[in-house]
Structure formats: structure tokens, C-alpha cells
Amino acid sequence: MKLSELIKRGHDTALKWSECDEALVAVNETFGEPYESARKALHNDLLVATSREVPLDTFKGDNNPLRFEDLKVLVVVKPSLVPAPDKKLENIDTRIERLEQELKLARTERKSIIEKLKIKDHEFVISQISTQFRHIK
């Protein structure tokens, strides 16, 4: 493929991205922001209600009161449950923490070796190509 063809393809793609980005911004302002605000309010209300008087089982199955046939929408309420404190869990959590630190150190060491290879002018090969689009200011 010639450079001129790549430039044309790039221009066409950039145009499509720009149009899509503008549309997404408009959609987010019109629908996304109000939805996020309403979702957060519902989430907070669910936290308060389920901690006080409404059991979580209320929102399970076909009798979920947050099933809105007129909208063809079901609000699924999924609680994240964590186990009560336990000595075995504490021990494994400590082990995981230690292993994560070891992994972090190994990644830092790998990054350092790569930097040293760059300094020594070591040959690098392309593993993949990715594209990003940004607005020019």
C-alpha cells in the first residue's frame, strides 16, 4: 500500500472518528449525564433502604419491583458480598499482598532491563500497532 493511500485512509478514518466523537459528546450531555445522576441516586437509595428495612431478596426473580414492562427494562440489583473476617482469609490476603509486591518488583526489573537494552541499541521488533485519535488544539 502506498503512503498516499494510507494518508487517504487515515483522513477518512479521522473524519469518521471526529463525527462520532462529536455525536457521543452530544448524546452524553443529553442522555448520559442525566442517566448517571439518576443511577447514582437510585444506588444511594438502595444502599439506605436495604440497610434499614428492605431485604435484598425483594429484588430477585420475576417479582422484582424494579421490572418495568412499559419500558421493557429490568433494573438488576447485584449486591457484592464479602465474607466476615476469618483468620484463614487474613493469612491468604497477607500472602497475596507479598506476592503482589514481588510481582511489582519483577515488572520494575523487567522495565529496567528493557531500558538498558534501548541504551545498548538492542534491536526491537514490532509486536503490534495501535491507533489513537486526539483533537488538535
**Can you name the residues that pair with 67 across neighbouring β-strands?**
74
Instruction: Tell me the whole-structure pTM to 2 decimals.
Output: 0.62
CB atoms within 10 A of CB 59: 20
Q: What is the pLDDT of residue 70?
A: 96
Q: What is the C-alpha separation between 96 and 113, in angstroms, rounded?
A: 25
For residue 79, the model assigns a pLDDT of: 86
pLDDT band for position 137 (50/70/90)? confident
Which three three-digit cell numbers place residue 39? 443511577
> CA triplet 36, 42, 45: central angle to 5 degrees?
140
Q: Which residue has the higher pLDDT, 121 or 39?
A: 39
Pairing type for strands 67-68 and 73-74 reads antiparallel
